[in-house]
Amino acid sequence: MLRYRHVIRLLQRRSYSSGAANSGSPGGDKSGEEDSHPIRRTLRLLGNDMRKVKEFFVPKDPEPEQERIPTQSKFKFTGERERDPTLADDFQTHCDVLIIGGGAVGSSIAYWLKEKARDGLNVVVVEKDDTYAQSATRVSVGGLCQQFSLPENIQMSLFAAEFLRGANQHFGQDVPLHFTPHGHLMLAGEEHAESLMRSSQLQNEFGARNELLTADRLEARFPWLNTKGIVLGCLGLEKEGWFNPLALLSNLRRSASGYGGHFVSGRVVDFEFVPQTDISVVGHAGSNEANYTGLNKAVIQLPDGTLRTCKFALCVIAAGTNSGQVARLARIGVGPGMLRIPLPIDARKRYMYAISSQAQSAPGMTMPMTMDPSGIFIRRDGLGGNYICGQDSTEESHGQEVDSQYFDQHIRPKLAERVPSLGEAQLVDSWAGSYDQNVYNENGIIGPHPYYHNLYIATGFSGHGVQQSLAVGRAVSELIMDGQFRTIDLSRLSFDRLIVDQPMYELNNVLS
């Protein structure tokens, strides 16, 4: 083969030189004549064959493909961009599912939808604060605990524990969650001891593992703990602990985006409605619900003040503390009939403090997250005698500011009484934020709205939303994709209980 190529090159050089020599003489240009010499003709044919062999075995560089546009086919939305080529940005004017709120719950819903549907479903998440400086996730202690009194809450926490056990398989290892498996210790006085016993029995029946400890056993097991006024404690043995809540949020958002979800920085300021004569709703006497008007578009204000609209097939309100306000934009709480019932979500403030103590008798590495009947909570934070503590306020939140005197007036005295070695701990840092409180019965509201056929709600988790976000996202995705709950039946947590006035109270104040 090499010999043939060498001969061909020699002949080519010879023909070029002879052509150049004859170019000035009459008849010297033979370019239009066929070379009839048998040897040169044979070598030329062999050369052509060798080029074909080379082209067969050596692949050509692939031609650049045009950018693939993700499909929006489920609800046959084509989008304004196809009609108006001047709209060249990434704003989605049409989508299948619009999620209002990009915190832990909203991002989880987007993650589960896109994890299952990928390009088959166009999902848009609108979040007003990309920095999450005002998000409830910022003031989450990252707790994972099954010590609830309602089966639904226990099951959601168990689901989260199983998911976080295999977090690397779901999210990879780029953003570790730093799970610390040292459980929760919930303390109870005489008034709540019996309730704690019943809850513990229920939790273990569902698969949790915890044990009840009397005051004497608590003192023996945790020498740093003052058991004055404590009758019973419940200690989680497995599937409990704490993790980095911002890392979980980052992984949910990053994974949802990687699967093709769209995150938009903006605020929903209004809805556009459309009459639908093919739908009839029968409600209270005297209402005009027979003339059904459905949700059609969301009006979104972008950071630069521009107003854009996004037409959706389905909408999910997962806006945390702003969920009540968004619901009012959809006439929930201000309309006739079933729309007269508001979404009962208010903002509650949580104060968080980082403290440090080098006291010899301070709690050590195996300290569980401890929750006192007074409402304060404390857990270890890494190494070196660092702790995080805080308390939820019963007052409505009106800002993110931290009262510098609140710690010394409200936290330190209770902390010194329960953990005496931390009474003189140094205050290192402090911050505050708001979480969404369901003022009706302090429990999450999950599922479709009874009036709007294309509106779902996932909010009001009252301080334990981060640990429940994984199960809630899975549940809402099942309602959207399958039309029913499959993993955990959460139908008792629907909006309907507000209509029939059947509250479901969670007796245990479990934080996340």
Question: CB neighbours of 501 closer than 8 A, spacing ≥ 6?
Answer: none
In a domain, 88, yes or no: yes
- Give CA–CA dist 432/440, Å, rounded: 24
Higher-pLDDT residue of 484, 284: 484
3-state secondary structure at position 386:
strand
* pLDDT digits 0-9 by tens, 259-282: 999 999 999 999 999 998 888 776
Distances (CA, A) of 264 to 82, 268, 303, 388: 20, 11, 10, 33
Mean pLDDT along residues 243-251: 95
In a domain, 158, yes or no: yes
* pLDDT digits 0-9 by tens, 336-381: 888 999 999 999 988 899 999 999 999 998 999 999 999 999 999 9
In a domain, 28, yes or no: no
* pLDDT digits 0-9 by tens, 125-146: 999 998 888 888 888 999 999 9
Mean pLDDT along residues 306-324: 97
Closest listed residue to residue 99, CA positions, set 310, 339, 254: 310
Q: Is the pLDDT reported for residue 195 higher than 80?
A: yes
Q: Is the pLDDT reported for residue 508 higher than 80?
A: no
pLDDT at position 402 is: 66
* pLDDT digits 0-9 by tens, 465-479: 999 999 999 999 999
- Most distant CA atoms of the chain, gap in Å: 122
First to last CA, the chain: 73
pLDDT at position 199 is: 96
Q: Could you tell me the residue range of the domain that residue 459 belongs to?
A: 69-181+240-344+439-512
List the CATH number of the domain containing 247: 3.50.50.60
* Beta pairing class for 307-317 and 376-380: unpaired
Residue 350: strand pairing partners: 392, 433
* pLDDT digits 0-9 by tens, 322-334: 999 999 999 999 9
Q: Is the pLDDT reported for residue 254 higher than 70?
A: yes
Higher-pLDDT residue of 382, 65: 382
Q: Is the pLDDT reported for residue 456 higher than 90?
A: yes
Q: Is the pLDDT reported for residue 87 higher than 70?
A: no
Q: Which two tokens stand for residue 256?
A: 């949802």
Model pTM score:
0.81
In a domain, 248, yes or no: yes
12 Cα distance to chain centroid? 68
Residue with tokens 């854009």: 308
In a domain, 134, yes or no: yes
- Give CA–CA dist 484/477, Å, rounded: 9
pLDDT > 90 fraction of the chain, expressed in percent and rounded: 66
pLDDT > 70 fraction of the chain, expressed in percent and rounded: 78
Number of domains in the chain: 1
In a domain, 424, yes or no: no
* pLDDT digits 0-9 by tens, 43-70: 676 677 666 555 544 544 544 443 333 3
**Which regions of 304-444 does DSSP assign to beta strands (E)?**
307-317, 345-356, 369-371, 376-380, 386-396, 426-438
- Give CA–CA dist 489/348, Å, rounded: 28
In a domain, 257, yes or no: yes
**Mean pLDDT for all residues in the chain:** 84
Residue with tokens 């369901």: 438
What are the backbone dihedrals phi and psi of residue 402, each rounded to the nearest 5 degrees, phi first?
-110, 125
CA angle, corner 152, sides to 147 and 153, nearest 5? 35
* pLDDT digits 0-9 by tens, 393-446: 766 555 556 666 889 988 999 999 999 999 999 999 998 889 999 999 999 999
In a domain, 405, yes or no: no
